[in-house]
Amino acid sequence: MALATRALLAIGASIAVAVIGASSFFAIGGKAPGARACPGGLTGADIGGSFALTSHKGEAMTDRDLAGSPSLLYFGYATCPDVCPTDLADVAAAADIVAEKIGMSVNPVFVTIDPKRDTVEALGEYVPYFHDSMIGLTGSQDAIAAAAKKYRVYYAERPDADFPDGYSMDHSAYIYLLGKDAEFITYFKHGDAPEYIAEGVACHIGS
């Protein structure tokens, strides 16, 4: 229940502000005011690529299985006490804003950087607290390392007696937007509001 409690607290704190301010953007058709650049970070970078992992339902899954809808992809770990649940709640809220306002489905995707603890069963318990459609992905340490490298994700174990098995994970915290072809478009940072992320999805992908 520890994972569930942390997840629910983070969801409640983050989703409460998810839709504030979103309506003014979508009311003008999903285009940023003044034709400014779409929200997000660097575009056109050599980020992303193929991966072969296992979903929280125990099914083999590759990047191509995400094609058809845009995706918001996040690397983290389930015992993360604050940053990860906050970012995942923002991903879930942004996906709901896009679905509600322009009727476009977005894949919320969580890739663990801690496959030793984040098994299929552990992710099967964890990810549904954030969104019914969230996909949790795990795999061997080599497979996770290969996927993380393609997305330029930093992560490392750090000894910590307050965590299960005596370690926590240091890691970067970015939310990656993939297009309908499952190719990288841009990224969002920790702390970017759900409505800002949703605006970026609508602006880059369109309706």
Q: What is the pLDDT of residue 34?
A: 38
Instruction: Name the band, by pLDDT with cuts 50, 70 and 90, for residue 4.
Output: very low
Q: How far is CA 138 from CA 66, 79, 123, 134, 146, in A?
A: 15, 14, 8, 13, 12
| Model confidence pLDDT, tens digit, residues 8-66 | 444 444 433 333 333 333 333 343 333 448 988 877 778 999 999 999 999 999 999 99
Instruction: Name the band, by pLDDT with cuts 50, 70 and 90, for residue 6.
Output: very low
Q: What structural domains and CATH numbers belong to the chain?
A: 2-32+52-159+166-205 (3.40.30.10)
First to last CA, the chain: 39
Q: What is the pLDDT of residue 14?
A: 41
Q: What is the pLDDT of residue 95?
A: 98
Query: Phi, psi (5° rounding) for residue 193?
Result: -70, 150
| Model confidence pLDDT, tens digit, residues 138-181 | 999 999 999 999 999 999 999 999 999 999 999 999 999 999 99
* 53-81 mean pLDDT: 98
pTM, full prediction? 0.82
| Model confidence pLDDT, tens digit, residues 84-135 | 999 999 999 999 999 999 999 999 999 999 999 999 999 999 999 999 999 9
Please name the residue that has the structure tokens 């969801």.
11
Alpha-helix runs per DSSP H in the chain? 2-15, 22-26, 83-102, 120-126, 141-150, 194-205
